[in-house]
Amino acid sequence: MHIAVNPTGEGNTVTLLEASEEGRLEEVRLLLQSGAAVNQTNYFLNTPLIKASKNNHVDVVRFLIEKNADVNQASKKGATPLWVASTEGHFKVMQLLLVNDALVNQADFASQTPLNRASEKGHHQGVQLLLANDAFVDQADKDGQTPLYVASKAHHYKVARLLLANDASIDTKTNKGFTPLWVASQKGNLKMVKLLLSNRATVDAENENDATPLFIASQKGHLQTVMFLIFNGASVNKPNKNGYTPLSIASSNGHTNVVELLLTEGAIVDKESNNKGTPLLIASNKGHVGVVKLLLEENALISKTAKDGETSLHRASLHGHIEVVQVLLDNGAEVNLADRTGKTPLYFASLHYFRDLSEKVVKLLIDKRANVDQEDIDGITPLQAARMKENNEIVRILLDSKPSHATSRQELRKRLYPLVEARVPTRADTITSTLLVKLDDDEVLHLLESSQALNAQIAQAIAELHEYEAGENERGSDERRERERQAHIAVVEANDALERQEAKVAELKRKLQASLSRAAKAAAPPKPYTARQEPPRSKKAEKKQARRDKRTTKYESMEAQLEHEVHTSEEQRALRADAFDMRQLVIQAEADARKARERLEAAKKLKADMSAEYEAAVHVVPPRSTLSDIIGNALDNLDKNGNVIRGAQSSP
């Protein structure tokens, strides 16, 4: 067998690196005999021994070591043959390397030792072998993670137990202050937590943010882990740097079972954080109704405020949490209690951040006698706030909540509409609605009594509408433009389809007519031959006429025979069949044309509906017709011959 030696790995010949990686021992032997360098490397500085160790080729590893391969030569990232074998868990390769003086604590460029890698991957046998060969049990990587930490993080119970049996430090922290118990609590690994606590891990060890294992377990909602930590003496009220306690963070994340357990174990129900308030405030803000009920059952102060003076009802109202608002009101929350800026829960709900939910909250607060006219420190009421935000539905609800307001409002509309119509006939309805939403009852009554004030308000309303229209026409609504574009495309496509279908119908009709003509012509009996009446001629002419008559008789007999053959032949039946098929095609084409016309009408109706919908949405009349609209309307009123259709409306 002849193997080409290629120490550098260039070209298409087999290299020692390739043969070692694939475990081809015979080729490795021949390559070395041919002079290949046993410690040659590739771009990543991987040696044949590293390749063979990674892929568990024990015989190749043994042979390379016998040929004086360097067992501690590292790759570009600092990985030695023992490092890669420990990562992959190749126990026999690890044995061979260690027997041949591989450095057991040689780390890669991330400061990870073979023991660290084996512990992270859960290779119990490999860990045992490395420890038996004096591996440093507490050697940390660049992030401060020890073998015990990475084993606890990756749920490798047997490896962690083995490391602890070899005196691993149980409370060594990472660079961010995480201990093995902290990360096990974060993962909710109860079995690992029990192992670490049974080996006297510090139950309240804090990370860099002062968060304890109980805090992180409460945040993640690991109920059994929380229970076991408390049973082992974890402090239920120990806050982190932001003042959050385990109860606060569990309330924030809606872990009802954990909240219930913490309350049972003595958690302070009204412990405040640095900026978010009590657990009740936090849970109300997030909308966790189950947690809110539990906290209220433990007598949480419902009127407790945050630093800005907001109560739980303020926050629930602001975020549209209707169920939480209902629970708080049922438990005695003060509906008109204001924060430091004078804003009430109804004010926050009137901002209408959550649409339908906010409307429901507004109705519920009004049902509980919320003051619609209560002003904040700037003199703004919930009604005025809703008007500033242009929340018309909230404005209507607030207006209708006033005593006898609905009835009085209808009466005011009946009295105001004729006056507006007399001044602005084309926009009376829009301007009347605008004035009723914008003004209160007293202001409307003043308009009814003062023509000058009414004229001023109408002029202002018209100016606002014109300004809005101008702005709308200038910037346009992307959604409206897109819908109009789609409608226009639909109309054009429908028109094109109709034209194609009508052309198809016309062509089929032409073909049908031609087919029917051919069939009729074939079915018609041949015309009898009529000889020309000529004046008497000479004998020569008579002879010629006799010959012609003879031919005529012959032709008549031939035509009669041909007529019989045509009426009974397959060709005639085929012509009739073709005519029938053509008739069916015409019928189908006409049906398709009707459908195309219906689609065209539907597209036109859709476009008209969208225009009407847009006009209704902005409460304005359509803009004046453009020249193209006038021409289009005029064309619609003409028939195919260019005559005006009777009853058609003239273009404006």
For residue 269, give both structure tokens.
Answer: 């129900």
Q: Mean pLDDT over residues 115-138, rounded? A: 95
| Section 242-263 average pLDDT | 94
388-391 long-range CB contacts below 8 Å, 24 or more apart?
A: 389/350, 389/351, 389/352, 391/350, 391/351, 391/352
Q: Are 74 and 102 in contact (CB under 8 A)?
A: no
Nearest to 254 by CA among 285, 296, 300: 285
Residues 6+ apart with CB under 8 A from 524: none
Is 110 domain-assigned?
no
Q: Where are the alpha helices (DSSP H) in 298-440?
A: 312-318, 322-330, 345-350, 356-367, 382-388, 392-400, 405-423, 428-438
Cβ(68)–Cβ(58) below 8 Å: no
Average confidence (pLDDT) over 113-141: 95
User: Which one is predicted more confidently, 39 or 518?
Assistant: 39
Look at residue 529 in the predicted model and tell me its pLDDT.
47
Range of the domain at 609: 511-519+575-618
Output the pLDDT for position 484: 65
Residue 277 — left, alpha, or beta (φ > 0 → left; ψ -120 to 50 → alpha)? left
* Distance of alpha carbon 643 from alpha carbon 609, whole angstroms: 29
Task: Give yes or no for a contact between 104 and 74, defined as CB atoms under 8 angstroms apart.
Answer: no
Residues 355-381 have pLDDT tens digits of 677 888 888 998 888 888 888 888 888
Residue 394 lies in a domain: no
395: in domain: no
Instruction: Tell me if 335 sits within 8 A of 367, measured CB to CB.
Output: no
Cβ atoms within 10 Å of 157's Cβ, excluding its own: 17
Report the amino acid identity of residue 220. K
pLDDT band at 384, cuts 50/70/90?
Answer: confident
- The per-residue pLDDT for 191 is 94
- What whole-number distance in Å separates Cα of residue 515 and Cα of residue 75? 87
Quick check: is 14 in a domain?
no
Q: Does residue 534 register a pLDDT over 60?
A: no
Does the pLDDT value for residue 488 go beyond 80? Answer: no
| pLDDT reading at 85 higher than 80 | yes
* pLDDT at residue 435 greater than cutoff 50: yes
Indicate the SS3 state at residue 644.
strand
CA distance 520 to 539: 44
* Other CB atoms within 10 Å distance of the CB of residue 30: 18
- Asked, for residue 591, whether it belongs to a domain, the answer is yes
Residue with the two structure tokens 């279908």: 501
Comparing 291-300, 379-388, 393-402, which segment has the lowest mean pLDDT? 393-402
Query: Please, which pLDDT band fits residue 57 given cuts at 50, 70 and 90?
Result: very high
- The structural domain count of the chain equals 1
Residue 190 near residue 225, CB atoms below 8 Å: yes
Using CA atoms, how far apart are residues 620 and 329, in angstroms rounded to an integer? Answer: 41
- pLDDT tens, position by position, 62-75: 999 999 999 999 99
Better pLDDT: 288 or 499: 288
Reading the block at residue 464, the tokens are 């606002």
Q: Is residue 596 part of a domain?
A: yes
pLDDT at 519: 64
In a domain, 595, yes or no: yes
Q: Is residue 598 assigned to a domain?
A: yes
Q: What is the DSSP string of 453-492?
A: HHHHHHHHHHHHHHHHHHHHHHH--HHHHHHHHHHHHHHH
Q: Which amino acid, residue 549?
A: D
**DSSP letter string over 256-300?**
HHHHHHHHHTT--TT---SSS-SHHHHHHHHT-HHHHHHHHHTT-
| Predicted local distance difference test score (pLDDT) of residue 628 | 47
